[in-house]
Structure 1
Amino acid sequence: MDFAAAAQAVLDNVAKVIDGKQQAIETALVVMLAEGHLLIEDVPGVGKTALARALARSVDGSVRRIQFTPDLLPSDVTGVSVFNQASAEFEFKPGAVFANLVVGDEINRASPKTQSALLESMEERQVSVDGTTYPLPRPFMVVATQNPFEMEGTYVLPEAQRDRFMARISLGYPDTDAELAMLRDRDTRDPAALLESVILVDDLQQMIAHARGIHVAESVERYVVALARATRESGDLRLGASPRATLQLVRAAKALAAVRDREFVLPDDVVELAPLVLTHRLVPLRGGGSSDEIVSDILRRVPV
């Protein structure tokens, strides 16, 4: 399998639906190849769900969509044991999380209890119900969308939940040309409905294995650790980056290098990905600067 050709095919396929957002599309693919989970946060109507659906349709694997609402139950996500009167035994009915790619729409509109139903599955690729553990299919990825928590009807994602997302991206509003193209292309058709898969699940597994084998020099590893330690020692933060964040930043950098047809990670890969991988995990002190400003300052101060 030609890794570069397969990666470009996915990028081109998603770009048929999302106009003018190449960096966001590339980041989504990088997270998929790094076996991570993606959080897309932005205001309503800018294409968050469209990006998630387009990425899901590009891979010929199982896809399930969960619309998170205040009345959604944890069992709707993970599954439930149902008593079968004929066999006089309990049978497990898998929930929506049993798929290669799970699209969680507006995840922060559900209660924290329901959100926490994803914690085990996102970290350990398994679900435990009534004392029995059920493995999830591989590969497994959650692509969740959320509106800014200041908006009505939303809950703040718990720190443990945010930490399980490898990266957080925002799409923003399209530029003038992209918005005009959208008006013309979607007047009579829905591009997302016409998308077909361009790679198989087996191909994706091979691409993940290739990305995992990308070389990372010790000096680059030390740079990643220095960035993480700088967040933990920052006087502007109540909560810094976890060791999981360090590990996921390296994995994402490997996948980015692979997508850009390199066999090794550059410090520039880390600098580019650090804001996407770190900011949503950090908790600034009340009245301090934003996480984005703090990470930008750390990237300026920590020597490469």
Structure 2
Amino acid sequence: MLIRTASDIVPSEITPQAVYLNRRQFMAASAGLLLPLSAIAALPAGKSPYSTSDTPNSRKDITSYNNFYEFGTGKDEPALYAGRLKTRPWTVTVDGEVGSPRSFDLDSLLKLKLQERIYRMRCVEGWSMVIPWIGFPLAELLKQVQPNSRAKFVAFETALRPGEMPGVARRVLDWPYREGLRMDEAMHPLTIMAVGLYGDVLPGQNGAPIRLVVPWKYGFKSIKSVTRIHLVEKQPPTSWNLAAPGEYGFYSNVNPEVDHPRWSQATERRIGEFFKRKTLPFNGYGEQVAGLYRGMDLRKNF
């Protein structure tokens, strides 16, 4: 399968935002998409009830300004180097505290109920984007392996391929990259596994071929290029929490009242905009997810 990087794409090939937001025109413009046409055809018509009304960032913004340290720490380096990542074949193993552990190839994952969802995404560094993802609820995948009563947390692991990921030589983190969610967070309907954006397969710099998206948490919780999902009884270690526990908590919910030790989280700058805006609690998804944390000290459990 040919996967194009940002450097391959000229402005004339980028679907105009007005066309994308018009479903009929968008589908007509999508005849050459790289996702299987059967999967695209199965997408529900109209806007998802989970989508924000915010205008999405341009494809250029989304694919040229990225955090993906396996390909470098500069914002431009993932787009430069992620084309090296071979995404076919690709397998995601789901095991641990489950009744039916199994491995899923990419084609079987694409047969799950794909949806288009426009989500706000907030980085801990103070910048944000609005991204039109294509993916399926993580809950749909987990149900297939039948979690048992000991499954309290979900641990995720990224591919580790030094020959394809030049950034891992820098040892910025203890590779492979690891993340985790509480079981109820993982099963929440907002939590998805994304396989595309803007009607196309995920570019390498955005986490190809499959990544987690948890829109009410800071971006580093949405682990990229996932190869293993492991259900466990105890809270799993996560990469940034291991590297800097005083700066990156396990929960990492967007909370404008809890500053990062080195900068404020009260405001953010959306890529493409000059002025900053106020950061919303839970990134604006409080109505849907605040109940998950009722009774918790969100300063202690940051």
TM-score of the superposed pair, with normalisation by structure 1: 0.25
Larger radius of gyration: 1
Greater helix proportion: 1
Greater strand proportion: 2
